[in-house]
Structure 1
């Protein structure tokens, strides 16, 4: 009996950790990535599109359509990109033989999201590994957008109030809090979230990270090159481990054995707080008496997750 292939649409801001996450999906024999939409975040939206083309070239998958989307948050308060990913999102490690921008689709990412959800109704899983601006705009364009999805996986937010951009906000939600608010409250699709704290808790010991990058093949050489700036940044700042995030989400999406503990809860996003703007607020005690709208992954099986990462670079 053949296994039904999963159809994924990936919405990304294609920084360093997005690269490995996308490659995991591209190399999975039971997955069809039917499109990749690009949003500002680790770089401007068009640069993100160029980064995605480099990923597809490494995976020999340049036939997958890439759509450039929103380059500003819903309310226009654009945040500066993090130094962690470099000015181009890919560690300032250019490729003279990178695919030409003519390979980017002319259709806007938001229009593509709505169209593809209709064409693959009930079959397409949306994987969000960047700010949620494109997805929020798709909801605004078509209120039935989310109900057409099989499910939605989001890397973002925080379930313990710990931030990596402010005292209490994670990067993807911080980059466009209003978009995150719209998605969590109005998507009308099963949502699974992997938060910053979960990724931080399951960071990679340096010994294991260097083991991942020892092979001499096309994927490993590419990842080593674009990650070098981030690795140097981590070491200079005395981080005790390497902290990828989007990889955790994609691993959970493609292999549910990665998930150890998750909770059905109601969660929203603070969009008015002076100190907590962009924080994901989780109603652990059902104080708000609202219907659960998300599953939050709070713990994963580290060995299963690390096997997913190792399988990619050994292939």
Structure 2
């Protein structure tokens, strides 16, 4: 049964030596997962243990490994679901480091094996795409995980209090979302699995409620040199294609 949950900050159980233990499972169809990766790589309170990719094609692997190299994090293992799937790196990603030569790579492990090795009861697994790697790991019956935070699903009027609803979703109780609907069997496996202590799904209407404005961008300019992560994110959000979206959307996206 779906229910509305107020945000919590109960994260002490995932701290090791003062840093959150996180594994990122991502896709590259749009920019948000890559920005998340950049954010996690440079956050002083985060220990990024591993990265898995859906589907995990050579163009994706090469791009992610290049990003890890920029942060001198060659030690982070990279896992994939299907290395032989259709090329899955978006044109947007190609614009981020357009002046750099980034070669495709097949240097990656099986994503489920990476999750089995690096996930445990003190780890948070953040999923930004279809849950294929997670479901494959679950099928072994050996996955143990403290917390799953997955982007996907929808919380409608029957769940979200009226004062917290977005106007464009008013009156709706259901809405398809790509991450869960593109592989609903994998989603069902994850939902049913008892080996994950806590499961949080960030619903479509919550994601759409996050707004990055020109004012946000101007504020980021003042602190962008405080860390490599902030510098890289500022660079991404300064790309002409992003700025054009700002102009079309009256200064917000």
**TM-score, normalization by structure 1:** 0.57
Does 1:200 pair with 2:204?
A: no
C-alpha contact 2:24 2:50 (8 A) present in aligned 1: yes
SS of residue in 2 equivalent to 1:241? coil
Query: How many residues are matched?
Result: 218
Equivalent-residue separation in structure 2 for 1:239 and 1:177 (angstroms): 36
Match of 2:187 among 161, 180, 191: 180
C-alpha contact 1:13 1:45 (8 A) present in aligned 2: no
SS of residue in 1 equivalent to 2:95? coil
Once the two structures are superposed, the pairs formed by residues 36-55 of structure 1 within 5 Å of their partners are: 36-40=51-55, 45-55=57-67
C-alpha contact 2:77 2:114 (8 A) present in aligned 1: no
1:29 is matched with: 44
C-alpha contact 1:26 1:33 (8 A) present in aligned 2: yes
Does 1:223 pair with 2:233?
A: yes
C-alpha contact 1:68 1:104 (8 A) present in aligned 2: no
1:113 is matched with: 115
1:151 is matched with: 147
| Residues 100-142 of structure 1: per-residue CA shift (max 9 Å, x gap) | 555833x21122212333xxx32222111121111111112x1
1:191 is matched with: 199
Change (3 A) 1:126 1:211: same
Match of 2:178 among 148, 156, 171: 171
SS of residue in 2 equivalent to 1:202? coil
Q: Unaligned regions of 5+ residues in structure 2, if any?
A: 1-15, 158-168
1:18 is matched with: 33
SS of residue in 1 equivalent to 2:175? coil
Change (3 A) 1:8 1:219: closer
Does 1:211 pair with 2:219?
A: yes
The offset of 1:4, in angstroms, is 4.0
Aligned-pair RMSD on alpha carbons?
3.5
Q: Unaligned regions of 5+ residues in structure 1, if any?
A: 243-315
2:9 is matched with: none
Equivalent-residue separation in structure 2 for 1:204 and 1:58 (angstroms): 25
The offset of 1:211, in angstroms, is 3.1
C-alpha contact 1:8 1:127 (8 A) present in aligned 2: yes
